[in-house]
Chains A and B, each alone.
Chain A
Amino acid sequence: MRRGSIASLLGIGIVSGGIAAAVALAIPWLPVSASKEAGRIDFVFWFVVTICIVIFAIVSAAILYSVVVFRAAPDDDSDGPPIHGHTGLEIAWTIVPTILVTAIGIVSAIVLSQDDAIAKNAMNVNVTAQQFEWTFSYPEAHNLTSATLMLPRGRETVLHMQSRDVIHAFFVPEFRENEDIVPGLTTTLNVTPTRDGTYPVICNELCGLGHSTMRSTVTVMEPAAFDKWLKGQSKAVTSPSAATAGAAVFKNNGCAACHTLTAAKATGKVGPDLDKLPAEAQQAKQPLASFVRTSITDPNAYIQPGFPKNVMPQTFGKAIPKQQLDALVTYLINSSK
């Protein structure tokens, strides 16, 4: 009887562990891994999942076995044997889980310290989050800004992240990386991309009404292609042709997220329609050129009727270099005519 019960208990344990393992292995639980850090995090993930499957198998085997074997007959009013405890067993199920969680803790701490280490040749990128858009800038490339993140493959990147209003979070599932961006602090995140492709950048901390739309993308590319992109962008924004430079500045600063401008194929509806700039300047009783410039550097100076105050960030005046601002103003004036 005793040997038989151990055998059937083992049987149920193997079956339920097998089902759990099949669920774990057959379903693609994690998105593709696109960074060095992701590889290590996935290792911790599967290490812990394995321990969890074993424990789940033991517990569910014991529960199922009890339910089937110890079910009382409907008319059985007798009591079970008065077992009050078993010191050895109680010590065992205190010690074994302690060892297991200690192992998990050690593995996690090692991975954490590896992921936190910063390589010497790391590239820096500044990330600015605000309701509800992302701006990325490259301090080692004259603070070139971009509305999407471009990264070279194989080189560690340190993101220095700041928020202009509330708490946001930078989350790229394919990188397995996530960190809050807290107003008043600069938080950092290390990423070493290992796989070319374009992945979503998700704001992962509830930041207000547009939270679900606060998305951008990160594109990982060959280092050579990245250098080419960087050069091309620097060239575009400093191009003597105001049309080229202005269009690049418009794109890189994410203006299209909120504004409509036919020339840039922008269709945003949050802010005023930039195709109608001349008419709006007339309403504001200002000359067009200074109206456009002021509206970028000090957006609260004049608010177009029907739009709320304090929505457009008031930091573009500082963030955009003068030369690029000039190009942007010229571009907007020419495009809106």
Chain B
Amino acid sequence: MTAATLDPHEHHLTPSVRRGPVRRLLLGPGFIRAGWMFCLFGAIGFGLVVGFRWWGGWQPLFDMTPITLVSLLVAGPLGFLAGIGAFDYWTRYAIGSPTRPEDHSGHGARTWHDYFRVNTDHKVIGVQYLVTTIFFFIAGGFLAMLVRVQLARPGNHFFDPQTYNGLFSVHASLMIFLFVIPAFAGLANFVVPLMLGAPDMAFPRLNALSFWLLPIAGIMMLSSFLVPGGAFACGWTGYAPLCSTHQPLGAIFFNQGVQWAGASSIMTALNFLVTIITMRAPGLTFWRLPLLVWANFTTSLLVVIATPFIAGSQFFSMFDHVMHTAFFDPNNGGYPLGYQHIFWFYSHPAVYIMMLPGFGIMSEVISVFSRKPIFGYRLMALSLMAIVVLGFSVWAHHMFTSGMSSWLRVPMMVTTLLIAVPTGIKIFSWIATMWEGKLHFNTPMLFALGFLSMFVIGGLSGVMLGAVPIDIHVTDTYFIVAHLHYVLFGGSVFTIFAGIYYWFPKMTGRMYDERLGKLHFWLTFVGFNLTFFPMHLLGTEGMPRRVADYAPKFADLNMFISLASFGLGASVLVFLYNMITSWKNGPIAPANPWRALTLEWQVSSPPPIFNFDEIPQVVGSPYEYGVPGAQHAILAPSPTHAVEEVAAP
């Protein structure tokens, strides 16, 4: 059977859909079906647990812990995914219904409704990712504001201890798993296939599924505040045995939330790997890849190898909690440090998962706005690979004072210090790229420069922490809080902003407001430094992190930090206002407002539904600024003409 023999209407409309608007509303993929299927699957999960308990004669019959886990955190979300339509094609294929591989009914966005359904277009998915992650960025930032309210003065009691510990735990989890990691995945989703000259990702349906796992994870983590007993409150690191045996029900919302986000991350990374390896345009060799593609290639390697470890650590922790196994319970032969080793075997590479895509964005932005080729391109790519390899050999530097075997500290210190070398190469090369260039300070470039200076401070405090004797003094103090925010906010978040502003014209077809963008940058840059730089001092003076109260001698600095953090929080409003108004009413963007050479700028803004009318032929490096007559790729002329044909239903 070939696709051509089938009437196309047979295939992108399910049989039920043809039987009238009511049935279509209830049975067609969408939020209504997602709602009732969530309830249905949840009820099945509930029935399974209670049925098994009744059959085995276990008391009490209605044990809330396993019921919540199976029904609310596993079966319900699966029902939601089935209802929204993430499995429709595969289900039809599996049960032998007619399917058509070239079914494009779920591809591309013609109205805003198309952003609220399962969509296989990588450009739509990229935007879905970014909007979702910015939502969770705001939620996580709001939680941080509440933390700063509590810490504004010593002896404050705005929140009870469970809620307070929940605030910073959920803040960190959202920022890491629902903002930084997926925001980069969103940017790369939009940009990477375009840069490769490909019509889409290798597995568009898997790509859609990856996205829809994300809101599940985020809502799960946020809703743990509503659980009787309170949110999970053991820090995003979830150390055992505190988190595995001493926590209320909310803890498994974290365990499971990480699983959904992690699954999304792994699927996306596999998709990137296959796409980058197999779907490069003719002539686009690895040494001609834009560094953003290199960055996402290396990041995806990290994700695929490392993420299963955090899944393992959270499964074991959750088993200890729900099934009373004893992986980490020392009273029954468990080994608490085992958790930390497994956890950090993912979570240290995760730092680079949150950094390398930002490095890629930096390379694009700095080269374009300096009007110069990237300095030392091959060494830039190789240093990414070096970070991947070294990144797997440094995990125990999070455990210098954990009570692990003391001999392990020196080798871990050596690898940790060495990883500063490839990172340094990148920083020096970016500066050399700017050297003698023609610098244009548009908002993306400002954020890139902000990143460069802030990340140097974060990197240098990282070298300090790498030296074991210093780490012994400042570990688990506010010095760590300062360091990690300089790396993840001054580093990752600044590059995310740079990327969003840089590709905003390509994504929306409209220009953002440059003045508001610059205002946003300066507010963020100043607010960020006022908030986080004084934390170094708090830490070296000995104020521990993750406390609801502190010694009176730290009062003045904490009040200052709290006030500065509210300013930093307010700066996000400028960003939101700019994004929303520009998306609606901004001036129409040209195809290539930055005069960049990479492929995504050679098509219209926003790009045609399948990106390229003809696969481009790549003939050179993507960074040949200033080289007379140099070309990155040769594209077919008149890009707009053929688009109409494809877009027509």
**Which residues of A come within 8 Å of B, CB atoms?**
27-31, 38, 40-41, 44-45, 48-49, 51-52, 55-56, 59-60, 62-63, 66-67, 70-72, 76-86, 89-90, 93-94, 97-98, 101-102, 104-105, 107-109, 111-112, 115-116, 165-167, 169, 171, 173-174, 176-185, 187, 200, 202-213
- B435 contacts the other chain (CB 8 A): yes
Please report the C-alpha to C-alpha distance between residue A29 and residue B479 in the assembled complex, in whole angstroms. 11
Quick one: which of A29, A187, A206, A209 has the most chain B CB within 10 A? A206
Is B177 an interface position by the 8 A CB rule? no
Whether the Cβ atoms of A80 and B401 lie closer than 8 Å is no
Please state if B401 and A185 are interface contacts (CB–CB under 8 Å).
Answer: no
Contacting residue for B413 out of A56, A108, A184, CB 8 A: A108
Report if B439 contacts A (CB, 8 A): yes
User: B560 at interface (Cβ–Cβ under 8 A)?
Assistant: no
Flag if A179 contacts B403 (CB, 8 Å).
yes
- Can you give 15 contacting A-B residue pairs, CB < 8 Å? A49-B464, A62-B435, A66-B435, A67-B441, A72-B438, A82-B624, A82-B630, A97-B420, A97-B421, A112-B468, A166-B239, A179-B472, A204-B477, A211-B546, A212-B547
Chain A residues, Cβ within 8 Å of B437: 66, 70, 80
Given contacts A45-B470, A101-B420, contact A67 B449 (CB under 8 A): yes
Which residue of A67, A84, A98, A207 contacts B242 across the interface (Cβ within 8 Å)? A207
A166 close to B371 (CB less than 8 A) = no
Minimum CB–CB distance from A78 to chain B (whole Å) comes to 6
A56-B460 in contact (CB<8A): yes
Closest residue on chain A to residue B339 by CB atoms: A167
Nearest residue (CB) in B for A73 is B438
B375 CB to closest chain A CB (Å) equals 6
Q: How far is the CB of A118 from chain B (nearest CB, A)?
A: 12
Asked whether, in the complex, the Cβ of A83 is within 8 Å of the Cβ of B373, the reply is yes
> Which residues of chain A come closer than 8 Å to B441, judged between CB atoms?
67, 71
Q: How far is the CB of B444 from chain A (nearest CB, A)?
A: 15
- Contact present for B438 and A79 (CB under 8 Å): yes
How far apart are the CA atoms of A167 and B463 in the complex, in Å?
27
A179 CB contact (under 8 Å) in B242, B401, B417, B470: B401
Residue numbers in B under 8 Å from A115 (CB-CB) = 469
Q: Is the CB of B469 within 8 A of A63?
A: no
Chain B contacts of A56 at CB under 8 A? 456-457, 460
Cβ B476 vs Cβ A62 within 8 A: no
- Shortest C-beta distance, A40 to chain B (Å), equals 7
Expressed in whole angstroms, the Cα–Cα distance for A62 and B460 within the complex equals 17
Which of A60, A78, A81 gathers most chain B CB within 10 Å? A81
Q: How far is the CB of A223 from chain B (nearest CB, A)?
A: 26
Partner pick for B403 among A30, A67, A98, A181, CB 8 A cutoff: A181
Counting from the closest, the 5 A-B pairs by CB-CB distance are A173-B542, A184-B330, A79-B626, A80-B437, A101-B417
- Evaluate contact between A84 and B542: CB separation under 8 angstroms: no
Find the residue from B375, B403, B626 having the highest chain A CB count within 10 A: B403
A80 touches B370 (CB 8 A): yes
Q: In the bound complex, do residue A206 and residue B234 qualify as a contact, i.e. CB atoms below 8 Å apart?
A: yes
Selected from B330, B377, B435, B467, the residue in CB contact (under 8 A) with A48 is B467
Question: For A93, what are the chain B residues with a Cβ–Cβ distance below 8 Å?
Answer: 424-425, 428
Question: In the complex, what residues of A have CB within 8 A of residue B477's CB?
Answer: 204
Chain B interface residue number, banded: 35 or more
B618 at the interface (CB under 8 A from A): no
Residues of B within 8 A of A44 (CB): 467, 469-470
A185 to B161, CA, bound (A): 28
Are A101's CB and B161's CB within 8 A? no
- The answer to whether A183 touches B246 (Cβ under 8 A) is no
Q: Are A101 and B463 in contact (CB under 8 A)?
A: yes
Residue B436 at the chain A interface, CB threshold 8 Å: yes
Nearest residue (CB) in B for A207 is B242
Residue of B nearest to A103 (CB): B417
Name which of B281-289, B305-313, B548-556 contacts chain A.
B548-556
Cα of A208 to Cα of B248 in the assembled complex, Å:
11
Q: How far is the CA of A178 from the CA of B469 in the complex (A)?
A: 10
B473 at the interface (CB under 8 A from A): yes
A195 vs B331: C-alpha distance when bound (angstroms): 39
CB distance from B291 to the nearest CB of A (A): 13
- Smallest Cβ-Cβ distance to A77: which chain B residue: B595
Which of the listed residues A60, A97, A109, A207 has the most CB atoms from chain B within 10 Å of its own CB?
A97
Q: B337 on the interface (CB 8 Å rule)? A: yes
**Shortest distance from the beta carbon of B363 to any chain A beta carbon, whole Å:** 13
Assembled-state Cα–Cα distance A52/B246 (Å): 41
Interface contact A208-B242, CB-CB below 8 Å? yes
Contact B463 A104 (CB under 8 A): yes
Residue B418 is within 8 A (CB to CB) of chain A in the complex? yes
Return the contact of A101 from the options B421, B476, B595 (Cβ within 8 A): B421
Q: How far is A203 from B461 in the complex, measured between Cα atoms in Å?
A: 23
**How many Å lie between the Cα of A44 and that of B473 in the bound state?**
11
A104 to B417, CA, bound (A): 8
| Contact A98 to B418, CB < 8 A, known contacts A70-B435, A181-B403 | yes
Residues of chain A within 8 A (CB-CB) of B625 are 79-80, 82
A187 touches B403 (CB 8 A): yes
Given A70-B435, A97-B424, A108-B468, answer yes or no on A167-B242 (Cβ-Cβ < 8 Å).
Answer: yes
Q: Which residues of B contact A72 (CB under 8 A)?
A: 371, 438-440
Q: A79-B625, A105-B417 are in contact. Are A41 and B463 (CB under 8 A)?
A: no
Taking CB atoms, residues of chain B closer than 8 Å to A97 are 420-421, 424
Q: Which of chain B's residues have a CB closer than 8 A to the CB of A102?
A: 417
Determine the chain B residues whose CB is within 8 A of the CB of A204 once the complex forms: 475-477, 544
In the bound complex, residues from chain A placing their C-beta under 8 Å from that of B456 are 55-56, 59-60
User: Which B residue sits closest to A64, measured CB to CB?
Assistant: B453
Interface centre among B370, B371, B406 (most CB of A within 10 A): B371
Contacts of B401 in A (CB 8 A): 169, 178-180
Instruction: Check if B436 sits within 8 Å of A81, measured CB to CB.
Output: yes
Chain B residues in 8 Å Cβ range of A63? 431, 434, 449, 452-453
B273 to A: closest C-beta gap in Å? 28
Choose among A104, A167, A213 the residue that contacts B239 (Cβ–Cβ < 8 A). Answer: A167
Query: In the complex, which of the residues B246, B460, B476 contacts A178, with contact meaning CB atoms closer than 8 Å?
Result: B476
Query: Which residues of the other chain, A, contact B540 by a CB distance below 8 angstroms?
Result: 29-30
Per-position contact with A for B332-358: 1 when CB-CB < 8 Å, else 0? 001111000000000000000000000
Are A80 and B438 in touch, CB under 8 angstroms?
Answer: yes
Q: How far is the CA of A52 from the CA of B424 in the complex (A)?
A: 12
When A44-B470, A211-B547 are in contact, do A84 and B377 touch as well, CB less than 8 Å? yes
Min CB gap B470→A, angstroms: 5
CB distance from B332 to the nearest CB of A (A): 10
Given contacts A70-B437, A83-B435, A108-B413, 4 further A-B contacts (CB under 8 A): A45-B473, A116-B406, A167-B241, A211-B546
A319: shortest Cβ distance to chain B, in Å? 18
Q: When the two chains form their complex, are residues A212 and B626 in contact, meaning their CB atoms are under 8 A apart?
A: no
> Min CB distance, A282 to chain B, in Å?
33
Enumerate chain A residues within 8 angstroms of B536, measured Cβ to Cβ: 29
Considering the complex, give the chain A residue whose CB is closest to the CB of B456. Answer: A59
Q: Which residues of A contact B627 (CB under 8 A)?
A: 82
B230-252 interface with A by 8 A CB criterion = 233-235, 239, 241-242, 246
Cβ of B541 within 8 Å of any chain A Cβ, yes or no, is yes
A209 and B161 form a contact (CB under 8 A): yes
B25 to chain A, nearest CB (A): 48
Find chain A residues with CB under 8 A from B460 CB: 52, 55-56
Do residues B544 and A109 form an inter-chain contact, with CB atoms below 8 A?
no
Taking the closest CB of chain B, its distance from the CB of A208, in whole angstroms, is 6
Contact (Cβ within 8 A) B431 A62? yes
Known: A101-B420, A116-B406. A212 touches B548 (CB 8 A): yes
Q: Are B370 and A184 in contact (CB under 8 A)?
A: no
Chain B nearest CB: distance from A267 CB in Å? 16
Which residues of the partner chain A approach B463 to less than 8 Å between Cβ atoms?
48, 51-52, 101, 104
CB distance from A106 to the nearest CB of B (A): 10
Complex interface: chain B residues within 8 A of A81 (CB): 372, 436, 626
Q: Are B403 and A185 neighbours in the complex by a CB distance under 8 Å?
A: yes
- Separation of A102 and B375 alpha carbons in the complex (Å): 26
* A85 to B425 alpha-carbon distance, docked (Å): 12
Q: Tell me, in angstroms, the Cα distance from A214 to B534 when the chains sit together.
A: 25
